[in-house]
Homo-oligomer: A and B are copies of this chain.
Amino acid sequence: MDTNPHQSDSLHQSEIFIGLTREQNAALLKEGRSITFQPKSILFHQGDPAKHCYLVNQGRLKLTKLNEQGREVIIGYIGAGELTAVTALFKNRNYLVTAESLEETEVIGWDKPKMIHLIHQYPDIAINLLGIVLERIDDMQHRYLEVCTEYVDQRIARSLLRLMRRAGSKTRDGILIDIALSRQNIADYSGTTLYTVSRTLSAWEKNGWIKSGREQIVITNPHALVQFAETG
């Protein structure tokens, strides 16, 4: 582990450190192990005997699930300051999610005994963990509602808006989603097919709501998209 004396801003902002003293903060970092992954590597695979949870320090991860027939669903994208695989720490079973790095990605990993020990020392860590995990539940429950009750194009709109909020950066034309997103990716994130995504984006491009290129989306009229997502 590189006990990094000048820790990066992204880590400071992470929800897991909220309200901790400098001392607690340092203890948490000291117990973790830093690992760096090249782009498109698999951090852990669905079904692997996972024993660590990971905090992203730099880079971005795609979290997916596969069903028996090999069809993929994207659970989410996470970036600096976000956690994944908390399940692996508190459940004696495999975490049925796959994590893949999109860019060069540095994570800090903690194993179960260390995290349990830390929590006993500093219970606020557990409270922060609960906050993070509960956020994930709310998101998942809401997306579940959407996929059960809304039309495909509404869901695509919500997907783009969600990704925009997580990874949007302002440009001259509008808000660029800062993740390489193929039509297939958007489909996997929205529960549909790449063909339907392509048709839908084409229509929105005609409306002037978005500009899209190869694996790239710029949202030029977020308000129209929000409107559409809510009313259909």
A interface with B by C-beta (< 8 Å): 65, 67-69, 71, 73, 75, 86-87, 90-91, 96-97, 116, 119-120, 123-124, 126-127, 129-131, 133-138, 140-150, 191, 230
Q: 5 new A-B pairs (CB below 8 Å) besides A75-B144, A130-B133, A140-B141?
A: A65-B141, A71-B149, A73-B144, A91-B135, A137-B137
27 contacts between A and B (CB under 8 A): A65-B145, A67-B146, A67-B149, A71-B148, A71-B149, A73-B144, A86-B130, A87-B137, A87-B138, A90-B130, A90-B134, A91-B131, A91-B138, A96-B138, A96-B141, A97-B141, A119-B123, A119-B126, A120-B124, A123-B126, A126-B126, A130-B130, A133-B134, A133-B137, A137-B140, A140-B144, A144-B144
Which of B68, B87, B123, B144 is within 8 Å of A147, CB to CB?
A: B144
* Chain B residues whose CB sits within 8 angstroms of the CB of A135 once the complex forms: 91
CA distance A24 to B133 in the complex (A): 24
A181 to chain B, nearest CB (A): 17
* Chain B residues whose CB sits within 8 angstroms of the CB of A133 once the complex forms: 130, 133-134, 137
* Chain B residues whose CB sits within 8 angstroms of the CB of A67 once the complex forms: 145-146, 149-150
* Chain B residues whose CB sits within 8 angstroms of the CB of A124 once the complex forms: 120
